[in-house]
Amino acid sequence: MRILLMGARGMLGTDMVQDWTSDELIAADSRDADVRNLEQVRKLVSKVRPEWILLTAAYTDVDGSEKNSELAFAINASGTENVARVASEFGARLFYVSTDYVFDGTASLPYESSDPLNPLNVYGASKAAGEAAVQKHARDWCIGRTSWLFGASGASFPEKILRASETRPELSVVADQVGSPTFTRDLSAAIRRLVHADARGILHITNSGVCSWFEFAKEVLNQAGRTAIPVRPITASEIARPAKRPAYSVLSPDSLRHYGVTVRHWKEAVPVYLEDLRKVGKLS
């Protein structure tokens, strides 16, 4: 199967390139085609002629999106529309990676894939617009929402915690936002299975298990052997951040189970992640 990956230099895309060996995967990034440029996208897809397009390219700076809303929408909404249109033109199926931030976090039960969207911030709104573009313009599509990504191929929350533990006597971490950490290598494997299953519709793809950022930080430090570092729970209101985050963004796995795909508990992924950090020289 010939697959075009757009966003190959991102944290998820890098893992996909490394781990996806069962198909002919053509890796592309903004140097090959800027998603904001319809003709560049058309030229790339015309050259590759893929059966599937995996769109992981995105503007993912949540706080930066508040200050750069035009850029966020240009990439995450208009850029996604360009890819969706071209995928339809060439008869390619499209897999679009989206986010838990399309929800407002007011739920008390895990969000189902059919629940209404109500993003709290510009980033979430731009990704929701991208989802709408996929559904309107792509012929055959699958949207995979995920959350709280971490991986050794890019800067993520647990790496920042580990770095901070090397220089600070105490850490303060938000304890009133809850979600499911998702290891990029596990997400990559799940997407690969879904593509092979010819998946359609909107799916939720995360590691199993639920925690707060505070609990996530504590577990990473414990597994890294840094148990002496004090970690203090704080509320989100104690941190002045430009973008508001959902307090509860747990995604239900029911849509994923329809395809017989399950993902291990996030705690089981942490030691693999730590080993990956050691391999790339980010953790001693």
Chain segment 207-240, per-residue pLDDT in tens: 999 999 999 999 999 999 999 999 999 999 998 8
pLDDT of residue 128: 98
CA distance 189 to 182: 12
Confirm whether 221 is domain-assigned. no
Confidence check: pLDDT of 25 > 90: yes
Q: Average pLDDT for residues 243-255, to the nearest whole number?
A: 96
CB 10 within 8 A of CB 61: no
What is the crossing angle of helices 157-165 and 266-279, to 10°?
Answer: 60
Give the length of the chain. Answer: 284
| Strands (DSSP E) found in the chain | 2-6, 24-28, 52-55, 93-99, 141-146, 149-150, 171-174, 178-179, 182-183, 201-204, 211-212, 231-234
Total structural domains within the chain? 1
pLDDT of residue 284: 84
The predicted-structure confidence for 41-80, as pLDDT tens digits, reads as follows: 999 999 999 999 999 999 999 999 999 999 999 999 999 9
> By percentage, how much of the chain surpasses pLDDT 90?
97
Confirm whether 57 is domain-assigned. yes
Mean pLDDT of the chain: 96
Distances (CA, A) of 26 to 51, 53, 61, 96, 165: 11, 10, 26, 16, 38
Confirm whether 230 is domain-assigned. no
pLDDT of residue 52: 98
pLDDT of residue 115: 97
The predicted-structure confidence for 162-193, as pLDDT tens digits, reads as follows: 999 999 999 999 999 999 999 999 999 999 99
How many helices (H) and strands (E) would you count in the chain?
A: 11, 12
CA distance 141 to 199: 8
pLDDT of residue 22: 87
Containing H/E element for 122?
helix 122-137
What is the crossing angle of helices 184-196 and 11-19, to 10°?
Answer: 60
The CA-to-CA distance between both ends of the chain, in Å, stands at 39
- The DSSP code sequence of 256-267 is HHTTT----BHH
CA distance 69 to 57: 17
CB 269 within 8 A of CB 219: no
Q: 77 CB contacts (<8 Å, ≥6 apart)? A: 126, 129, 130, 133
Q: Which two tokens stand for residue 161?
A: 């915690």
CA distance 243 to 58: 17
Confidence check: pLDDT of 123 > 90: yes
Vertex 165: Cα angle to 162 and 166 (nearest 5): 100
Q: Average pLDDT for residues 251-279, to the nearest whole number?
A: 96
Q: Which domain holds residue 140?
A: 2-155+181-208+250-264
Confirm whether 135 is domain-assigned. yes
pLDDT of residue 252: 97
Is 101 one of the catalytic residues? no
Confirm whether 81 is domain-assigned. yes
Task: Report yes or no on whether pTM surpasses 0.85.
Answer: yes
**70: domain CATH number?**
3.40.50.720
Confirm whether 8 is domain-assigned. yes
In single-letter form, the type of residue at position 246 comes to P
Confirm whether 168 is domain-assigned. no
Marked catalytic residue, from 59, 123, 248, 273: 123
Q: Would you tell me how many other CB atoms lie within 10 Å of the CB of residue 77?
A: 20
Confirm whether 169 is domain-assigned. no
Confidence check: pLDDT of 140 > 90: yes
Q: 237 CB contacts (<8 Å, ≥6 apart)? A: none
